[in-house]
Chains A and B, each alone.
Chain A
Amino acid sequence: ILNVEQSPQSLHVQEGDSTNFTCSFPSSNFYALHWYRWETAKSPEALFVMTLNGDEKKKGRISATLNTKEGYSYLYIKGSQPEDSATYLCAHNTGTASKLTFGTGTRLQVTL
């Protein structure tokens, strides 16, 4: 993996469904992995910053895991609600520890 890749590109689920997305990143020179939530017409907001292999973070119904050795992170949403509709971006910190490289995001739409 040379760049940050996210899958799927888009996802359409029903209210109450649980869902998850994948972020793949270069495993070498790892410093941190970020998840951002980006609602339409707003700016990205940080969800999680993870640095250690095996890290798990949780915020309400949203959680994330990190595997730095194989270069992937999962974002989970339990019991999706319409207000969860947004684009979820992951971003990778390289050895510089400051510069973020973003994936193209997973666009989630939750309908009633």
Chain B
Amino acid sequence: DAGVIQSPRHEVTEMGQEVTLRCKPISGHDYLFWYRQTMMRGLELLIYFNNNVPIDDSGMPEDRFSAKMPNASFSTLKIQPSEPRDSAVYFCASSFRRQGGREQYFGPGTRLTVT
């Protein structure tokens, strides 16, 4: 398996522009997570899905952020409009339900810079 795939790997955009980050989870995994990593706050969970349904979006910072999972193999995280403080590395991770805890498999991340 190719692992979790994210695109783009790097994104530089101007303030006010729309940004869309993409994620393909590992085939067969039924949980998908979006994280944001910053120096100040470390790794923060933004939202997660189970069987394509959003379960907890309490970490989404503002209405400017939205996430969708139209099918089991694809998810997007959209920021509209983007702001400089959104600059961070955004990770997608997936996991498979099993007893005793579920390890998460992380993608390579998308480094977003908003100027």
Contacts and interface: CB of A to CB of B under 8 A. Distances in A.
Interface of A: 31-32, 34, 42-46, 49-51, 89, 93, 96-105
Given A32-B101, A51-B100, A89-B43, A98 B48 contact: yes
A58 to B, nearest CB: 16
A88 B103 CA distance: 15
Interface residues of B, number: 22
Contact of B109 (A43, A96, A100): A43
Contacts of A102: 42-45
Contacts of A43: 91, 106-109
A49 B100 contact: yes
A104 B55 CA distance: 24
A103 B42 contact: yes
Contact of A100 (B45, B55, B108): B45
B42 A49 contact: no
Interface string B70-105: 000000000000000000000100010000111111
B13 interface: no
Contacts of A93: 101
